[in-house]
Amino acid sequence: MTLLCDTNIISELARPQPNTGVVAWSAKTSSILLSVITLEEIFYGLSAKPNARIQAWFEQFLNSYCQILPSRDRQRILLYKTGSKVA
């Protein structure tokens, strides 16, 4: 099963001791979809508060389990209005 996940789910999975329910739920998925907005939020958070452990975990997680949804014009407009840039 492939699911679209928001930033709060990814953040929970990155915790040293994530919620067991979230871990069990994520174990049932074959891959996770991320929107460019979620990806931007994660990269923004990692640049604002650098954390080597989370950075390494996220890079491995992204490469192993995630697919990134193609960017759409509405998403780009939202990112532009909030002052963010697509990673």
Amino acid at 9: I
Contact criterion met (CB below 8 Å) for 42 and 48: no
Give a yes or no: residue 86 inside a domain: no
* Average pLDDT taken over every residue of the chain: 86
Tokens matching residue 73: 């014009």
Q: What is the pLDDT of residues 16-33, one digit of tens each?
A: 999 999 999 999 988 899
pLDDT tops 60 at residue 86: no
Give me the CATH number covering residue 13.
3.40.50.1010
Give a yes or no: residue 87 inside a domain: no
Contact criterion met (CB below 8 Å) for 33 and 3: yes
Contact criterion met (CB below 8 Å) for 75 and 37: yes
Give a yes or no: residue 74 inside a domain: yes
pTM of the entire predicted model: 0.74
Sign of the torsion formed by the C-alpha atoms of 73, 44, 58 and 28:
negative
Domains held by the chain: number: 1
Domain range enclosing 6: 2-81
